[in-house]
Amino acid sequence: MLKQNLVHPPLLAALARAGHGSRFLLADGNFPVSTVRPPAAETVHLNLAPGLLDIPTLLPILLTTVPVEEATLMRHPDGIDVPAHGAYRELLGASVPTTSLDRFAFYAAVRSPDVGLVVATGDLRLCSNLLLTVGLP
């Protein structure tokens, strides 16, 4: 029995295979996870129903499991503020720098071969995708 919050076997296995510099995507429910990812990336489906499971619920659990050194956010195509981004910055803390990319640059970043995991969530908020880079312990 594990004494930590993350006990989902496929998610734990995928994170265990990640090393320093590996990246993983927490995808909102609108993200095309079947077509925008590298071919070798594992997809873990945590999208039980619309609205379940959202990224702010998942992120704190992941942060207790794997060190994160950088985060990349997807900008809204209309340039408006994405409310989820403020919550992500707060959860990540000041020590994790964040950058943002427009939709197609974000898609290109997700297709990079260093992305080894795509987590499909039920988060319904537009452009609430979060690409995380694994750091050092």
pLDDT tens readout for residues 38-92: 999 999 999 999 999 999 999 999 999 999 999 999 999 998 999 999 999 999 9
* Confidence bin at 3 (pLDDT 50/70/90): confident
pLDDT at residue 128, as a whole number: 97
**Full set of structural domains in the chain with CATH:** 9-134 (3.40.1650.10)
Mean of the per-residue pLDDT values for the chain? 95
CA distances from 73 to 13, 77, 126, 128 (A): 25, 12, 12, 7
Cβ distance 59 to 96 under 8 Å? Answer: no
Looking at the chain, the whole-number percentage of residues with pLDDT higher than 90 is: 95
Angle at 133 between CA 129 and CA 137, to 5 degrees: 135
pLDDT at 1 over 80: no
User: What is the torsion angle, in degrees rounded to the nearest 10, for the CA atoms of residue 58, residue 63, residue 69 and residue 70?
Assistant: 20
Quick one: pLDDT at residue 91?
A: 97
Q: Which of 20, 19, 21, 48 is nearest to 119 (CA)?
A: 48
Give the separation between CA 6 and CA 72, rounded to whole angstroms. 23
